[in-house]
Every structure is written in C-alpha cells, then in structure tokens.
C-alpha cells in the first residue's frame, strides 16, 4: 500500500506497523528526585524503546528546519493519557530524516518532544472538595507562530500552554568571568553587551493563561472555535464560551440545570464546535441525543436549532438501554458535513441535514451485549470511549477492551480489529487483525468473549490530520502506528 493512497486503510491485510511506543512506567514519567514539577525543559526519555543513535543526533539538528518541517506536514498531534497518575501532554513529532513535502515519509521514528506537568492537585476549601490533577481534555490551537499552543483542562480549571523551542543563549557577563568567577567591580574598564550564541535545542512549556472558577460541575469537553478567538468548555450541566485572551469572564451559553435537582434526567457528556462555521456547536447528552445550536440566533443557546435522535428499538429495550445509549464522544468530520458519536456499543455517523436517524452505524463490540450485567457490576459500562476521523473523513477509529481498537472504512463498509500490546508489537512489526469469537466453536486465532481483559481498555485514539499515522493510548502505553510503506 503506497503512501499516496492515504484515504482509508486496507482491511484485508493489516498494513499498520508499529513505529514507536512509549511506556508510562512509574520510572519513566516521574519527575525524578531532584526535578521539581515545574521543570519544563525537554527531557530525554529514560526507559523508552531503544532508539537508534541517529535519532538522538537528530535532536541537535538546527531548529529552523525542524519547525519548518512541522509546519509543512502539520505533523503534530496529541494523545492524552488519563489512565496514569502522571498527566502529561505529549507531542509526538516525526523524526525528520528524509521528511519533506515531496517525498513520502520514511519509516517514522518518534521521540518525546516535551513533557510537562499541566495541573497540580488542589483542594477547594469552600466545598471541601479535592480537585484532581487528572487532565480531562487537551485541544491544540491553530498555529500562530513558531510555537505551539494547547488548552488543557482538569475537572475545574482550563490552562493555555505554550510550547516553544529555544536554540540561542546569551553569553558574556560584565561582573563574571566565562567560568563564573566574580570580577573585581573596580577593575571593569569596558562594558560588554551580551552576545547570543547557538546552543542545543531546548523545548519549553510555559503556562500563558488560566481560565478558572467558571464551572460548578466537572468539565468534560473543551473545543476551539473556528474564529480562532473563542472556545467553549462544557461541564455536566452547562456550556461556557470564553475568549482566548480574557480569563476573568466567560459567557454561559447553555444551562440545562433544572430548578429542582431532583428533576434532573440528563447531563451533557461532550460538546464540540463546528470546524468551519463559527456559529455552530453541538453537545451530546447522557440520553443518547445530540443538540445543535446556532450562536447567531441568540446569546443564550438553551433552545437548540437541531435535535438528533434515533428512535429506540422497543425489542432491544433493557435495564441497560439508557446507560449504553449515553454518548461518550462527539466529533465533527473535517468537512463539517457529518458528525460522529460514540455510545457504549456503537459508533454512529450523522448527516447534519438529517435529524431523525444516523446515516451510518458501526458496531464496535456487539458481542458485549450479553455481558452488560457484569460490565455494570465492574463499572466498565461507564467507560468513556473516544472516537476519531481520518484526515479525509473516509475512515473512523475507536477503542475497545483487551487493548483492541477498531477501524471502519466508510466507503467499503469493511472493519478491522487491531491490538495494541507490548507482546505482539515489536517496533516495525506488522499488526495482525484480531477476531473475537461470538458463540459457537472458537476458531484458531480467535479470542473468546470470556477471556477478554476489561482492564485493558483503549479510550483515547488520534489520527494524524494529513498522514495515515495513528496514536493509540492503551492504559499506560502510547503506541504510534503507521500505514505500511513499500
């Protein structure tokens, strides 16, 4: 499969190979004995996959070509790991050898670009409430200069971070020698102006703004508007609109809190801005419905302009119906025409022009329908799986249990199950399609539903906006897979 064929994937042969994996073992991500949590400099990865020496050399490549390459390929995407206690934003940028606009990328190698601590655990004294440092969402901002910007949020506080590179250092002091010894102040005969000299590339993350105190409930989504000056943040009952440069004020645009909390029947589970139309956003609810609002119509968007709901099939109604129909993620396609929602067992693609039913429905792990009772007992039924589109909207991907993740080709209607695990993914190994046995006799290579490990779940996945490169977060590992290149 050539690189020019980047829309869609081939389900017949599993042409995804592992290019890089990072393990989030305690020893890897901890900040070390001496390092403070504000240590924002780039760290080399102590216990990652073995890297070739050429990769390490690449870190000293001149920074200009580095950021140019980033710009030309937009090859920066983010994966969020929440399963670990250490919350890190990770930027994976491709190893640059042979990477250019015209030539297909060589077999990629990835290195950690920067790690930093975004939030610290806090305590709300007024409500006697512990606020975890756990990050709920990360969103990149459109690039505005050589630095990268991202929004990260925990349950209550949203932060804007800048990740920038520095490759020059000032040299020459008046009161000190080159080796740091103090000079006699009375023997200064001339003034020296410092000179900037090149140095090793350093990546810094610095907090730029803190948007706090606007959410009473837990924030579940943040989404940057296409006007590039506002973003919205959603908690269980409210959605707020912020200006990226104003931290002391936000506008509440949706409030579904009933006057009497006992009448509460649904909560907001996710919200997203339209990728092209600055006035449109959607939010999904725990009842499996999606509301589309137009911010032009009114300052308060309590009244939706579209309401997407699939009528329930009475034959499959059960105790769990409401729980499994809760939407855990909603994503607009890049084109802005469709949106995709993930509920517990399926992924649905909706045409924005058709409200009464989805245009496509894909079963992610239908075989779990018989196991809902035990999944309810071990709380897995409340897992929030995310989903994502590929760059051309022709394929979608979402996670499952047992370190499996699923891909669906929208044109051919074919699907594939792949596994992200240490055991069967050596670097550059090809991924084998996996199959779950759904009753009857188990064939060779098949896995029985009963032997699935529900502790190994893939909740977060990301697809590169231009290339066929994906990132999959499996508990405390991040895998990056790349389409096979001949």
Partner 1 sequence: MAGAEGDDSLYPIAVLIDELRNEDVQLRLNSIKKLSTIALALGVERTRTELLPFLTDTIYDEDEVLLALAEQLGSFTVLVGGPEFVHCLLPPLESLATVEETVVRDKAVESLRKISQEHSPVDLEVHFVPLVKRLASGDWFTSRTSACGLFSVCYPRVSSTVKAEIRQHFRTLCSDDTPMVRRAAASKLGEFAKVLELDYVKSDIIPLFTALASDEQDSVRLLAVEAGVSIATLLPQEDLEALVMPTLRQAAEDKSWRVRYMVADKFSELQKAVGPEITQNDLVPAFQNLLKDCEAEVRAAAANKVKVFCENLPEDSRETIIMTHILPCVKELVSDTNQHVKSALASVIMGLSTILGKDNTVEHLLPLFLAQLKDECPEVRLNIISNLDCVNEVIGIRQLSQSLLPAIVELAEDAKWRVRLAIIEYMPLLAGQLGVEFFDEKLNSLCMAWLIDHVYAIREAATCNLMKLVEKFGAEWAQNTIVPKVLGMANDSNYLHRMTTLFCINALSEACGQEITTKHMLPVVLKMSTDQVANVRFNVAKSLQKIGPVLDSSALQAEVKPVLEKLATDQDMDVKYFAQEALSGTCPLISLTFKHTFS
Residues in contact with partner 1 by CB under 8 A are 71, 142-147, 149, 162, 164, 166, 168, 170, 173-176, 185-196, 208, 226-229, 245, 277-279, 295-299
131 or 147, CB closer to partner 1? 147
Nearest partner of 421 among 388, 379, 452, 466, judged by Cα: 452
State the minimum distance, in angstroms, from the CB of residue 205 to partner 1. Answer: 13
70 or 372, CB closer to partner 1? 70
State the minimum distance, in angstroms, from the CB of residue 165 to partner 1. Answer: 10
Residue 353 dihedral angles phi and psi, to the nearest 5°: -90, 0
52 or 174, CB closer to partner 1? 174
State the minimum distance, in angstroms, from the CB of residue 192 to partner 1. Answer: 7
State the minimum distance, in angstroms, from the CB of residue 245 to partner 1. Answer: 6
Interatomic CA distance for residues 83 and 402, integer angstroms: 15
78 or 147, CB closer to partner 1? 147
What's the number of CA atoms in the CB half-sphere (13 Å) around residue 451?
A: 9
Interatomic CA distance for residues 254 and 293, integer angstroms: 9
123 or 186, CB closer to partner 1? 186
60 or 71, CB closer to partner 1? 71
Q: Which two tokens stand for residue 25?
A: 């073992």
State the minimum distance, in angstroms, from the CB of residue 100 to partner 1. Answer: 17
241 or 473, CB closer to partner 1? 241
State the minimum distance, in angstroms, from the CB of residue 225 to partner 1. Answer: 9
- CA geometry: angle at 288 spanning 282 and 294, to 5°? 20
State the minimum distance, in angstroms, from the CB of residue 297 to partner 1. Answer: 7
State the minimum distance, in angstroms, from the CB of residue 204 to partner 1. Answer: 8
Interatomic CA distance for residues 432 and 434, integer angstroms: 6
144 or 315, CB closer to partner 1? 144
Q: Calculate the alpha carbon distances from 219 to 60, 238, 265, 460 in Å.
A: 39, 9, 18, 17
Dihedral sign computed on CA atoms, order 22, 41, 466, 408: positive
295 or 473, CB closer to partner 1? 295
Interatomic CA distance for residues 138 and 307, integer angstroms: 27
């Amino acid at each position: 499969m050539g690189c020019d064929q980047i829309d869609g994937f081939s389900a017949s042969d599993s042409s995804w190979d592992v290019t890089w994996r990072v393990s989030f073992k305690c020893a890897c991500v901890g900040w070390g004995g001496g390092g403070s949590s504000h240590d924002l400099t780039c760290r080399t990865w102590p216990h990652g996959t073995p890297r070739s020496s050429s990769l390490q050399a690449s870190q000293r490549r001149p920074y200009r070509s580095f950021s140019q390459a980033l710009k030309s390929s937009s090859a920066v995407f983010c994966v969020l790991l929440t399963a670990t206690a250490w919350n890190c934003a990770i930027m994976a940028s491709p190893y640059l050898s042979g990477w250019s606009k015209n030539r297909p990328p060589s077999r990629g190698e990835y290195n950690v670009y920067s790690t930093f601590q975004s939030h610290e655990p806090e305590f709300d004294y007024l409500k006697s409430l512990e606020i975890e440092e756990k990050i709920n969402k990360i969103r990149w901002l459109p690039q505005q200069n050589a630095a990268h910007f991202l929004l990260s949020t925990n349950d209550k506080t949203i932060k804007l971070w800048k990740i920038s590179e520095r490759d020059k250092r000032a040299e020459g002091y008046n009161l000190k020698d080159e080796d740091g010894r103090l000079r006699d102040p009375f023997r200064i005969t001339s003034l020296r102006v410092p000179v900037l000299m090149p140095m090793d590339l350093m990546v810094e993350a610095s907090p730029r703004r803190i948007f706090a105190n606007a959410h009473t409930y837990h924030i579940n989504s943040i989404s940057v508007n296409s006007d590039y000056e506002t973003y919205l943040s959603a908690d269980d009952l409210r959605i707020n609109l912020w200006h990226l440069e104003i931290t002391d004020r936000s506008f509440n645009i949706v409030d579904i809190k009933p006057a009497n909390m006992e009448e509460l029947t649904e909560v907001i589970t996710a919200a997203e801005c339209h990728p092209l139309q600055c006035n449109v956003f959607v939010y999904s609810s725990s009842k499996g419905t999606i509301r589309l609002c137009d911010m032009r119509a009114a300052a308060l968007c309590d009244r939706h302009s579209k309401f997407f709901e699939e009528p329930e099939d009475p034959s499959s109604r059960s105790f769990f119906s409401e729980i499994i129909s809760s939407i855990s993620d909603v994503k607009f396609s890049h084109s802005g025409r469709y949106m995709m929602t993930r509920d517990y067992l399926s992924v649905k693609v909706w045409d924005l022009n058709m409200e009464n039913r989805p245009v496509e429905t894909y079963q992610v792990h239908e075989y779990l329908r018989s196991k809902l009772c035990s999944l309810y007992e071990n709380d897995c039924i409340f897992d929030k799986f995310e989903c994502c589109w590929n760059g051309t909207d022709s394929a979608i991907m979402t996670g499952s249990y047992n370190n499996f993740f699923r891909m669906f080709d929208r044109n051919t209607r074919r699907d594939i199950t792949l596994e992200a695990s240490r055991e069967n993914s050596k670097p550059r190994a090809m991924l084998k399609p996996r199959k779950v046995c759904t009753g009857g006799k188990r064939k060779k290579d098949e896995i029985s539903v009963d032997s699935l490990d529900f502790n190994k779940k893939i909740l977060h996945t990301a697809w590169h906006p231009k290339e066929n490169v994906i990132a999959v977060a499996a508990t405390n590992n991040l895998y990056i897979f790349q389409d096979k290149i001949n």
